[in-house]
Structure 1
Amino acid sequence: MEQIEQPQIATVATLSDEKRVAFFKKTYSHVALAVLLFIVAEYFFFQSEAIVSFALSLIGGWSWLLLLGAFMFVTNYAENMALKSDDKQVHYGALLIYVIAEAFIFVPLLFMAFTVVDGVQILQKAAVMTVALFIGLSAVVLFTKKDFSFLRAGLTIGFVIALGLIVAGTLFGFDLGLWFSVGMVALAAGSILYTTSNMVHKYHEEQYVAAALGLFASLMLLFWYILRIFLSRD
């Protein structure tokens, strides 16, 4: 029986310059919108003492591990929704789910920042450094057009080791310390290179929302650990 060849969908790298630039504009504008939604969600979360108290009650022990597990499940579910469906409404739904979940898991860390001296300034410095690194790393991929897919194996191993350390630290009550956060910043930087590279070499023209979701996830991971580094120095 003769096999019917499936049509090949053109990746972003093969598009004309005009279409490629349009894709990048759509993608990064959606990343910016996701960040704005994250800020709005945090504002409303912090207006509710019940939500803040609930989030803080989950810190430490099995409850924190269960929260991390639930967050990983939501992340995987949202990314699969965005990648496997051609429905734009599904893509936006996935991005919305992920941003709200990210905003909730950030509540304890932001609460900690708000309670220290110069907490607002610390947040601003961490945000500026995060954005600067994100722009710089993205520019490396976009201008060099290098394929960073070779980072996948190293990132997978790194995140598995990091997850194991987080579980061990939570269960046995030891602080992972500054160097763990530094290592996670390095992993987040690698994730930005890898995700941006995938956006160029593996995504097609209509997957800009899915690409934005992946970039937003890497951006927030970077922000989390940069903020932890700043807070540990306070």
Structure 2
Amino acid sequence: MENTFENKTLLIDTTNEVRVAFYKKTYAHVAGGVLLFVLFEYLLLQSDAIVNFLLSMTEGWRWLVMLGGFMLATNYAESTIMKTADKNIQYMAFALYVFAQAIIFVPLLYIAIYYTESIDLVQQAAVVTLALFIGISAIVFITKKDFSFIKAGLTIGFFIAMGLIIAGTLFGFNLGLWFSVAMCLLAGGSIIYQTSNLVNKYGTEDYIPASLGLFASLMLLFWYVLTIFMSRD
């Protein structure tokens, strides 16, 4: 996700103080997105009707409908944030995206929590995800390299992954553990790309678009780390 605003002051052309303030704002917004996600998820899981409906949406072609709805919400949120400088509208789009993530996570988290009768598995996956996120992000800040060249590879990887997910849904085969491992690697690449944009591409007022990109990559990584943890049981 890249900003298209004209006449913006690039972060890379500013002082260290400005950059540090921008990084603090961005990661504070990512943390805020995580807290909002937890709140949404808690409220959604309290409703048996919502949980049962979303569980039913994971069966067969309905899962493709749910994924399609999630992708539409994602595209809408991203395009809205990139087309306006109005912070209120950007915040609303960010909140919409967080809510879409909460919706699609309900079946996975319900299975992880209620079938194991414990939240420990989710907490373990969250800790591992956060550690990986910090470690992968540190690579960019330490090397200060522009990793925008990996965008093409990530795009191809995501298209291949979507093709496999669609095929698995339509023809009823399990993609298995190694697919989840591969998706973790893809999510890691996405974190590197988004963090690289944070350092090299964004303007000084682009902390909401930057936080959305990082939050999306973080949640993708969390999904597949949790999937791997669940496969052990």
TM-score range, shorter chain: over 0.9
Structure 2: gaps (5+ residues): none
Q: 2: CA distance between counterparts of 1:119 and 1:134?
A: 24
Deviation at 1:218, TM superposition (A): 0.3
Q: 1: CA distance between counterparts of 2:135 and 2:14?
A: 23
The match for 1:100 is 99
Task: Give 1:37-186 correspondences, 5 Å limit.
Answer: 37-117=36-116, 119-186=118-185
1:18 is paired with a residue of what secondary structure? helix
2:95 is paired with a residue of what secondary structure? helix
Deviation at 1:177, TM superposition (A): 0.1
Q: 1: CA distance between counterparts of 2:22 and 2:73?
A: 26
Deviation at 1:143, TM superposition (A): 2.3
The match for 1:3 is none
* Bigger Rg over Cα: 1
Q: 2: CA distance between counterparts of 1:141 and 1:82?
A: 24
The question of whether the paired residues in 1 share the 8 Å contact of 2:147 and 2:196 is answered with yes
Q: How does the TM-score come out when normalised to structure 2?
A: 0.95
Q: RMSD of the alignment, in Å?
A: 1.3
The match for 1:196 is 195
Q: 2: CA distance between counterparts of 1:122 and 1:160?
A: 29
Q: 1: CA distance between counterparts of 2:121 and 2:48?
A: 23
User: Match of 1:96, as an amino acid?
Assistant: A
Q: 2: CA distance between counterparts of 1:153 and 1:67?
A: 26
2:119 is paired with a residue of what secondary structure? helix
Deviation at 1:122, TM superposition (A): 1.2
Q: 2: CA distance between counterparts of 1:192 and 1:119?
A: 29
Is 1:36 aligned to 2:25, yes or no?
A: no
The match for 2:226 is 227
Q: How does the TM-score come out when normalised to structure 1?
A: 0.95
The question of whether the paired residues in 1 share the 8 Å contact of 2:148 and 2:196 is answered with yes
Structure 1: gaps (5+ residues): 1-5
User: Match of 2:229, as an amino acid?
Assistant: F
After TM superposition, where is structure 1 displaced by more than 6 Å over at least 4 residues in a row? Answer: none
The alignment-based identity, stated in percent, is: 59
The match for 2:24 is 25
User: Match of 1:28, as an amino acid?
Assistant: Y
Deviation at 1:118, TM superposition (A): 6.2
Q: 1: CA distance between counterparts of 2:189 and 2:197?
A: 12
Q: 2: CA distance between counterparts of 1:137 and 1:89?
A: 31
